[in-house]
Amino acid sequence: MPIFQLYTNASGSKITPDFIKSTVKVVADTLGKPTHRVVVHVQSDQKIFAGDTEELTGIVTLRSIGAMGKEENKKHSIAICGHLDKTLGIPPNRLKIHFMDVTPSEIGTDNSTYHYILGGT
Protein backbone atom coordinates (compact mmCIF):
# COMPACT_ATOMS: atom_id res chain seq x y z
CA MET A 1 0.00 0.00 0.00
CA PRO A 2 2.93 2.41 0.05
CA ILE A 3 2.24 5.55 -1.97
CA PHE A 4 5.27 7.44 -3.28
CA GLN A 5 4.63 10.86 -4.78
CA LEU A 6 7.39 12.92 -6.37
CA TYR A 7 7.02 16.50 -7.52
CA THR A 8 10.09 17.68 -9.41
CA ASN A 9 11.30 20.27 -11.86
CA ALA A 10 13.16 17.51 -13.73
CA SER A 11 12.13 17.04 -17.34
CA GLY A 12 9.31 14.63 -18.08
CA SER A 13 11.57 12.95 -20.63
CA LYS A 14 13.50 11.47 -17.68
CA ILE A 15 10.37 9.80 -16.24
CA THR A 16 10.55 6.59 -18.23
CA PRO A 17 8.86 3.25 -17.55
CA ASP A 18 12.26 1.97 -16.34
CA PHE A 19 12.48 4.86 -13.87
CA ILE A 20 9.00 4.06 -12.52
CA LYS A 21 9.80 0.33 -12.22
CA SER A 22 13.09 1.00 -10.43
CA THR A 23 11.35 3.45 -8.07
CA VAL A 24 8.71 0.83 -7.22
CA LYS A 25 11.53 -1.59 -6.36
CA VAL A 26 13.44 0.93 -4.23
CA VAL A 27 10.30 1.82 -2.26
CA ALA A 28 9.29 -1.83 -1.81
CA ASP A 29 12.79 -2.85 -0.73
CA THR A 30 13.34 -0.06 1.79
CA LEU A 31 9.90 -0.52 3.36
CA GLY A 32 9.92 -4.32 3.21
CA LYS A 33 6.63 -4.34 1.29
CA PRO A 34 5.65 -6.33 -1.83
CA THR A 35 6.10 -4.51 -5.13
CA HIS A 36 2.52 -5.21 -6.20
CA ARG A 37 1.30 -2.98 -3.35
CA VAL A 38 3.49 0.05 -4.21
CA VAL A 39 2.03 3.05 -6.07
CA VAL A 40 4.38 5.60 -7.67
CA HIS A 41 3.07 8.98 -8.86
CA VAL A 42 5.44 11.48 -10.49
CA GLN A 43 4.72 15.07 -11.46
CA SER A 44 7.62 16.34 -13.57
CA ASP A 45 8.26 19.74 -15.15
CA GLN A 46 6.96 21.50 -12.03
CA LYS A 47 7.74 25.11 -11.16
CA ILE A 48 9.62 24.55 -7.91
CA PHE A 49 11.95 26.98 -6.22
CA ALA A 50 14.01 25.82 -3.26
CA GLY A 51 15.47 28.87 -1.65
CA ASP A 52 16.01 31.39 -4.43
CA THR A 53 16.96 28.99 -7.21
CA GLU A 54 15.32 26.78 -9.81
CA GLU A 55 18.12 24.21 -9.65
CA LEU A 56 17.04 20.59 -9.97
CA THR A 57 15.00 19.68 -6.90
CA GLY A 58 12.25 17.38 -5.69
CA ILE A 59 9.58 16.99 -3.05
CA VAL A 60 8.60 13.46 -2.01
CA THR A 61 5.67 12.31 0.07
CA LEU A 62 5.92 8.67 1.17
CA ARG A 63 2.88 7.11 2.85
CA SER A 64 2.99 3.64 4.36
CA ILE A 65 1.13 1.52 6.85
CA GLY A 66 3.94 0.89 9.30
CA ALA A 67 7.66 0.55 8.52
CA MET A 68 8.13 4.19 9.57
CA GLY A 69 9.93 5.75 12.50
CA LYS A 70 13.01 7.73 13.46
CA GLU A 71 15.60 5.12 12.45
CA GLU A 72 13.54 3.59 9.64
CA ASN A 73 12.99 6.97 7.99
CA LYS A 74 16.72 7.67 7.98
CA LYS A 75 17.22 4.38 6.09
CA HIS A 76 14.38 5.27 3.69
CA SER A 77 15.90 8.73 3.13
CA ILE A 78 19.25 7.19 2.17
CA ALA A 79 17.56 4.79 -0.27
CA ILE A 80 15.31 7.44 -1.86
CA CYS A 81 17.97 10.15 -2.06
CA GLY A 82 20.46 7.72 -3.59
CA HIS A 83 17.93 6.52 -6.15
CA LEU A 84 16.79 9.99 -7.23
CA ASP A 85 20.36 11.29 -7.38
CA LYS A 86 21.45 8.33 -9.54
CA THR A 87 18.42 8.27 -11.86
CA LEU A 88 17.32 11.91 -12.14
CA GLY A 89 20.38 13.80 -10.93
CA ILE A 90 18.59 15.40 -7.98
CA PRO A 91 21.25 16.02 -5.32
CA PRO A 92 20.29 14.72 -1.86
CA ASN A 93 20.51 18.24 -0.40
CA ARG A 94 17.91 19.41 -2.95
CA LEU A 95 15.34 16.77 -2.00
CA LYS A 96 12.73 17.04 0.75
CA ILE A 97 10.90 13.93 1.94
CA HIS A 98 7.69 13.92 3.99
CA PHE A 99 7.18 10.54 5.68
CA MET A 100 3.61 9.68 6.63
CA ASP A 101 2.83 6.60 8.75
CA VAL A 102 -0.86 6.03 8.07
CA THR A 103 -3.34 3.68 9.71
CA PRO A 104 -4.94 0.87 7.69
CA SER A 105 -8.34 2.57 7.89
CA GLU A 106 -6.95 5.71 6.20
CA ILE A 107 -6.24 4.00 2.85
CA GLY A 108 -8.94 2.48 0.69
CA THR A 109 -9.02 0.26 -2.39
CA ASP A 110 -11.30 -2.29 -4.02
CA ASN A 111 -14.46 -1.07 -2.22
CA SER A 112 -12.81 -1.38 1.20
CA THR A 113 -9.97 -0.12 3.37
CA TYR A 114 -6.75 -1.83 4.33
CA HIS A 115 -8.18 -2.23 7.83
CA TYR A 116 -10.52 -4.92 6.47
CA ILE A 117 -8.20 -6.17 3.72
CA LEU A 118 -5.56 -6.94 6.36
CA GLY A 119 -8.08 -8.85 8.47
CA GLY A 120 -9.47 -6.21 10.83
CA THR A 121 -13.01 -6.39 12.15
**DSSP state letter for 51:** T
Judging by DSSP bridges, how do beta strands 95-101 and 58-64 pair with one another?
A: parallel
* Residue 91 annotated in active site: no
CB atoms within 10 A of CB 58: 26
CA distances in angstroms from 82 to 8, 107, 119, listed in the order given:
16, 28, 35
Q: Looking at the DSSP assignment, which residues form a beta bridge with residue 59?
A: 7, 96
Active site residues: 2
